[in-house]
Structure 1
Amino acid sequence: MTPEPDILVVGGGLGGVAAALAACRAGRSVVMTEETDWIGGQLTAQAVPPDEHPWVEQFGTTAAYRRLRESIRAYYRQWYPMRSEAIALTALNPGAGRVSKLCHEPRVAVAVLEAMLAADRAAGRLTVLTEHRPVSAEADGDTVRAVTVEDLRDGGRRTFTARYVIDATETGELLELAGVEHATGAEARSEYGEPHAPHIADPLNQQGMTVCFALSHHEGENHTIDRPRMYDFWRSYRPAFWPGPLLGFLAPDPRTLEPVSRTFVPNPAGDPLAVSADQSADAGDKELFGFRRVLARGLHRPGAFDSDITLVNWPLNDYWLKPLVGAGERAAAEAVAEARQLSLSVLYWLQTEAPREDGGTGFPGLRLRPDVTGTADGLAKSPYVREARRIKAVTTVTEHDVSIDLVGPYGSTRHRDSVGVGNYRIDLHPSTGGDNYIDVGSVPFEIPLGALVPRRVRNLLPAGKNIGTTHITNGCYRLHPVEWNIGEAAGALAAHCLGEGVEPHQVQAEEKGFEAFAAVLDRAGVQRHWPDVRGY
């Protein structure tokens, strides 16, 4: 039996892994659970290449996150038959996709994350329980006393009584199980005065999720799947705010909402070394195959691969008919099932009906890649979840803190208790409440410790999309490097509190207490403030 840990991390996504690493770095014992059989969350099990800010190669992340990125590059240089020109690139983009400067296959990230945890597992500081999910929690007043997890393989249950519990689940499940005050969906505009919030609160108005999948293309072959059960529904579905059928290449531009045609050209010509992945200069999202390409055969020796590989996370397969949280387990299961049917329907439409540049229809040579996603059916292990339950926090980040229209190009809220930084547009996808894209320019922002501290509960910390943001600001705090930073800060905070005999509320509220914790983060290479570059 695993001894009772100092810290229980529930959820093995990027925030959970970062939390576990930080706590182990401080010498604490940790148990980390994960619902799938892959750690890494949105980077791996959800099959989403990292969404990052344009300066990620220079600054604006933690040292541990930089190690993750560079280790992914090193994996390709070591084990793939890359051209010498690609190997020599300091800023190698393995997939030459345009969404990120580091597009890569999910399995590579799994291998690297496992390697990052290996020493702590060997030392006995860390136990990782995959295919385990939380089913209940016991709270005594303002303290979470115990969490019970279920083994999804045999139904067995175990209860842990860690002194600190970190909720790194994708939907903030522990907040509900432990009775921690939280919000879901959209707040009313009157609550925080956010210009883009709706006039009436709607807890079930949540960003759509996406079930991603991987494709390669093999001209002259036929890999057409069976007609999906819900294909007729999705083939005829036309949202009121959409310029045409959802299964089509015409979709709104997220920033202007004007109808824009996407193009789809499998295995696009051109040298992938010439691809520039800088969304601040060019969104790059109008050519679908190349946008989230994770393997570019042109980066490798001739004949090594007969196709590129791309990940499908497009306007076509965003699902928003039913909410994922707050409507009960049955509704959530139905939502996931329908989202999976949508993605299969997108694939079938691509294979049989999609218009080609040569005037024909259908790409039967598109091959679903279960080997890339690690599943039997070829779909990602879990949906890409954009919005979770959010703690009622000591500090709530609102649109007034980050919107460039509200703070100006050189503004932003500077937090005394900053534990990290991030940058991304306020990027909300169509929602279950019928909203179209909400895409708002933002400024580089800080992560206040107060957003990680629940107003009441003393020993539970969030480590992902469940921090104290709003429905609106979640849209820029939900991406890969910010989730990692949040998790790293949460793990370090729990360990610091155990070592110093203090509580998170004290660390956040007391100047000397925060200074001591900030020194811990500084030594670990956590960048807590953006550089002031005005005048340069």
Structure 2
Amino acid sequence: MNLFESAAFSVFRLLMFKQMRGSYLFLIGIVAVLSACSNVATQFDKEVDVLVIGGGASGTMAGIQSARLGASTQIVEEGPWLGGMLTSAGVSAIDGNHRLHSGLWAEFRQNLYDYYGGADSLSTGWVSKVLFEPSVGAEILLKMAQAEEKLTVQFNTKLLKINQIDGGWLATFSSDKGDTVYIKTAVVIDGTELGEVAKMVGIPYDVGMDARSVTGEEIAPEQANNIVQDLTYVVVLEDFGKGADKTISRPENYDPTPFYCTCQGRCDTSVFKRTLWDCGYMMEYGRLPNNKFMINWPISGNDYYANIIDMSAEERDSTLEKAKWFTRCYVYYLQNELGFKNLGIARNEFPTDDGFPMIPYHRESRRIKGKVRFTLNDLARPFSQKTALYRTGIAVGDYPVDHHHGAYPDQSKIPDIHFHPVPSFALPLGTLIPAAVKNFIVAEKSISVTNIVNGTTRLQPVCMLIGQASGVLAALAVELGVSPDEVPVRKVQKHLLEAGAYLQPYSDVTPENSYWEAVQCIGSTGIIKGEGKNKGWANLTLFHPDSVMTAPALLEGVRELVPGFDFSFETNVVTVEEAGRVAAELSRAIGSDPSRQVNAIDKIWEEYAFGEYVPSAAVTRCQMAVLLHELAAPFETLQVDLQGQFITETE
């Protein structure tokens, strides 16, 4: 019986007491019980500034970043590892963002490089350039967390309930030792795999595919449905050497037919209409260091369809056992029928009795209704929308929109969303913030995006960067004494830049460039815009830093900030001297700090290593960005709202 139930039971006893002893004693008792009830909400075992529930890819990075900004932070994880899909689910092949080495994602990757001996040591399989053993990933993430003095991590602890109280939240947990733990916090971050905390506190959400009429996405189905992406129970196999026979026992009700098209040789490709690989090459797809193999194969492999999101705990357990059985059948097929008998389940990889990961790989979750909903149109054509969500960017991604529906029984009802080409993108801040609930942030795959967009925002680097932004937002909310929805967008972005995180997905300007921050800031105002492109798996947005700045493009960008802004250029190509005068006039028009005008352009040229200062020379786009950043500072001067619109003084 918990404290609230005990108080209710006491009221019942007092009602009985009234009948026996009279009203006076009854009233005294009621006062005592109500006094006790008023204290229930404030009784807790621990108080922290930020509570991260779920230590997955997002939750881990959220906890680390929040602590780095000085907020007392706790991660509570239901399992024994940090990392979620990166580690506990065994999906240790990073998809995307290889050219966008941003923030904590880049830090995690560097730690992997250091552990294995360089970048080439991680390029072991052809699906990714960053492959690693899940146990190593978990060890690295734990060390990163333990290095933060303001961060504590509690494993094997399950959330029972959570209540909103004055000043934040009171969360009730049960540990694996049977203890009940109460934690009070100012801000909660939902870092769970399926948005469990968001549901618990009553945040509205969507599950499945959205209707085209609602999202305006041309490739969305005409009618909404509850179909989600396939999940996968990954398994890691290990090569035990030539001649070894590690064939598992034949699974009950084993049927090889679902796997016949997993590679070349047994499938009629004229009917199947998918590219099939040589079986040996297929196995190299997820090769990990130290002769291990991640089995997460989408083509007639171990993807499994099940929408478990709103199932009961018992239904989930039963369904996931079937998903694990299906993967076990696939392992048996690989060993017994394709001849990979030397590959056995790696027994030293996961702390489980059967050698399987602790959780399945969930590609899709609940998607909350947030302050902003990010659609495919916002992602694919960011500069031509009514809103300017790109200005509020807090995480970047460059993977195609990739949906797994191969295991769904009736694929004719589903749009074919397989590597839909898009440019790289900036995820807006408002997707992390619920529309109505205060002091709450949502991370991982439960952010406010459409079903289609989830096909790219679900990837590991993006989720890590979502977590980092969540940590910044939470820590700033605590510091400023406001709810996360009231934290200025530019403050969040400024701290992310200081942490080496990209706001805009410009892969041709990296943090190693002296002008990287200037490009990120000016790109986030929209004065100079990038060009989105896609080439197969390579989805790009290019800033073209060394191209000349043209007068029409510059005027168009400046007029978005200052309508009617005018300047007379000698030609269509902007000179260095003209660029400096435009920046100075913009500074006066938007009310920038006048002290910036003392910065001499020749000194700026020297500081940024631009070479010889020639006023009459054509200015490049990166040089223009620097002059705007140094002399006018529009990023710092003009605030934006969650829709990316500039905030006027009257607002």
Q: TM-score, normalised by structure 1?
A: 0.79
Q: Retained in 2: the 8 A contact 1:10–1:166? A: yes
2:397 corresponding residue in structure 1: 422
SS in 2 for 1:162: strand
Q: Distance in 2 between matches of 1:237 and 1:73?
A: 38
Aligned to 1:441: 421
| CA deviation after TM superposition for structure 1 residue 14, in Å | 1.4
Map 1:332-481 to 2 at 5 A: 332-354=316-338, 362-403=339-380, 415-430=390-405, 432=408, 434-435=410-411, 438-439=417-418, 440-481=420-461
Contact preservation (8 Å) 1:144, 1:178 = no
Judge conservation of contact 1:396–1:470 (CA < 8 Å) in 2.
Answer: yes
Q: How many Å separate the matches in 1 of 2:161 and 2:109? A: 35
Tell whether 2:239 aligns with 1:220: no
Instruction: Tell me if the contact between 1:168 and 1:462 (Cα under 8 Å) persists in the aligned partners.
Output: yes
Asked if 1 retains the 8 angstrom alpha-carbon contact of 2:76 and 2:155, the reply is yes
1:501 alignment partner AA: G
* Matching of residues 76-475 of structure 1 within 5 Å: 76-77=116-117, 91-94=119-122, 96-120=124-148, 123=149, 125-139=150-164, 145-151=169-175, 153-203=176-226, 205-217=227-239, 218-232=241-255, 235-237=256-258, 258-265=273-280, 287-295=281-289, 308-315=291-298, 316-354=300-338, 362-403=339-380, 415-430=390-405, 432=408, 434-435=410-411, 438-439=417-418, 440-475=420-455
Equivalence for 1:241: none
Instruction: Measure, in 1, the Cα distance between the counterparts of 2:155 and 2:200.
Output: 20
Determine the C-alpha separation between the residues in 2 that align with 1:434 and 1:400: 27
Question: What secondary structure sits across from 1:420 in the alignment?
Answer: strand
Residue number in structure 1 paired with 2:471: 491
Structure 1: stretches of 5+ with no match in the other structure: 78-88, 239-243, 266-286, 297-307, 355-361, 508-512
- Contact kept in structure 2, 1:402 and 1:413, CA below 8 Å: no
Task: Give the structure 2 partner of residue 268 of structure 1.
Answer: none
Q: Distance in 2 between matches of 1:311 and 1:108?
A: 14
Q: What is the rounded CA distance, in whole Å, between the counterparts of 1:252 and 1:401 in structure 2?
A: 40
C-alpha distance after superposition, 1:263-317 (max 9, x if no partner): 222xxxxxxxxxxxxxxxxxxxxx3221111125xxxxxxxxxxx2111000244
Deviations 1:313-354 (A, max 9, x none): 002444444212023333322221111001100011112122
Would the aligned equivalents of 1:230 and 1:341 in 2 still touch at CA under 8 Å? no
Structure 1 residues 104 and 251 mapped into 2: Cα distance closer, same or farther (>3 Å)? farther
* CA–CA distance in structure 2, aligned partners of residues 350 and 193 of structure 1: 43
Q: Deviations over 1:108-130 (max 9, x none)?
A: 1112111111222xx3x222111
In structure 1, the partner of 2:90 is: 47
How far is the alpha carbon of 1:32 from its aligned partner? 0.6
Per the alignment, residue 533 of structure 2 pairs with: none
Using the alignment, how far apart are the partners of 1:177 and 1:230 within structure 2? 38
C-alpha contact 2:229 2:305 (8 A) present in aligned 1: no
1:303 match: none
Q: Note if contact 1:167-1:462 (Cα within 8 Å) is conserved in structure 2.
A: yes
- For structure 2, the residue ranges without an aligned partner over 5 or more in a row are 1-43, 507-529, 531-541, 548-651
Is the helix fraction higher in 1 or 2? 2
Matched AA of 2:374: V
Cα distance, 1:140 vs. partner?
6.0
The one-letter code of the counterpart of 2:129 is K
Query: Which shows bigger deviation, 91-100 or 437-446?
Result: 91-100
Structure 1 window deviating more from structure 2 (367-376 vs 35-44): it is 367-376
Q: Shift of residue 249 of structure 1?
A: 7.1
* Distance of 1:502 and 1:312 partners within structure 2: 45
Comparing both chains, which one has the higher relative contact order based on Cα–Cα distances under 8 Å and sequence gaps of 6 or more? 1
State the partner residue of 1:305.
none
Q: Any idea what the Cα deviations from partners look like across 1:205-234, whole Å, max 9, x if unmatched?
A: 1111111111123321211111112424xx
CA shift for structure 1 position 414: 5.2
In 2, the alpha carbon distance for the partners of 1:148 and 1:381 equals 23
Aligned to 1:86: none
Q: Distance in 1 between matches of 2:444 and 2:252?
A: 34
Q: 1:351 to 1:170 in 2, by over 3 A?
A: same
- Distance in 1, matches of 2:336 and 2:197, equals 43
Q: How many residues get paired?
A: 458
Compute the displacement of 1:368 (Å).
Answer: 1.1
- The two structures have a TM-score, normalised by structure 2, of 0.66
Does the 8 A contact of 1:323 with 1:332 survive in 2? no
Letter in 2 for 1:28: A
Give the 4+ runs in structure 1 shifted more than 3 A. 244-253, 316-321, 406-409, 431-437
Change (3 A) 1:248 1:31: farther
Query: What SS does the aligned partner of 1:202 have?
Result: coil
User: In 1, distance between residues paired with 2:490 and 2:383?
Assistant: 29
> Shift of the alpha carbon at 1:2?
5.8
Change (3 A) 1:48 1:252: farther
Q: Is the contact made by 1:251 and 1:259 (CA closer than 8 Å) also made in structure 2?
A: no
- Shift of the 184–46 alpha-carbon distance from structure 1 to 2, 3 Å rule, reads same
Q: Please state if 1:69 is matched with 2:44.
A: no
Change (3 A) 1:504 1:249: farther
8 Å Cα contact 1:208-1:318 kept in structure 2: no
1:392, distance to aligned residue in structure 2 (A): 0.3
Query: Is the 2:46–2:183 contact (alpha carbons within 8 Å) kept by the matching residues of 1?
Result: no
